Amino acid sequence: MLITGIKSRPVYDRLQPMAGGLHHLIAGQGSGGIAMLRLLADMSPTQRQNSSVFYSTESFSGQDHLQALQAAHTAGVEVFADNQALIDALRAKLGESHMGTRLYLSGSESFIGTAMQAANAVDLNRDEVLREHSGTLVRRVWCAHCDTYTENVTHRVFTCPGCQLDLVVRDHYSRRLAAFQGIKADGEVPGELPAAEELDT
């Protein structure tokens, strides 16, 4: 069978203020707003004033915490209509950041994975980043056959929108790709597909 049983889903943190930070960059999407609000409530007034908030209203769960985030006393809230726009802005912001920056990420697994690619590109140390998963554990899947990424996959077998192959989602998570691997579902026995069950969370 193509499903190997390898479990490599990341282990996440709980957002809490990091000591020693001179500037706090808080980025999240959708349901991640809950953890962002809790983090801001736990910060000192000085930490909040030295915090920049990036928030994407794109959400698989439909949760939106924008109004509450805008009411928090921070250095400012930048709002993005989709996750990719936020990631692009985050990449640019991190590129101009100085020593003492602390990064906090909250949202879906897909969002956190792609945001971590931006953090890794500027060599942020692991002790300078906290990540809290919020909401559903839908998966971002990379097709090993045509290099297409598919967001919000909820079933073990699905059709790749790039190459139209039926793919089985393996349990292996690649931090480099920020995605789970999808491979041809009937690669061993043509026409024989595994059950299209919902993915375990």
The domain segmentation of the chain, as residue ranges, is 23-133, 139-184
Tens digit of pLDDT at every position of the chain (201 positions): 344 455 666 788 999 999 889 999 999 998 899 999 999 999 999 999 999 999 998 866 667 888 999 988 888 899 999 999 999 999 999 999 988 999 999 998 889 989 999 999 999 888 899 999 987 777 889 999 999 999 888 888 999 999 999 999 888 888 888 888 999 987 666 666 666 666 554
Tell me the residue ranges of DSSP E strands in the chain: 23-29, 51-56, 76-80, 101-107, 129-133, 139-143, 149-153, 157-159, 166-174, 179-184
Residue 99's alpha-carbon distances to 8, 53, 106, 129, 185, in angstroms, are: 31, 18, 22, 13, 47
What is the pTM assigned to this prediction?
A: 0.78
Tell me the chain's radius of gyration from C-alpha atoms. 18
Look at domain 23-133 and name its CATH class: alpha beta
Vertex 26, ends 36 and 90: CA angle to 5°?
Answer: 140
Vertex 44, ends 55 and 52: CA angle to 5°?
Answer: 25
The separation between CA 65 and the C-alpha centre of its own chain, rounded to angstroms, equals 17
List the beta bridge partners of residue 130. Answer: 104
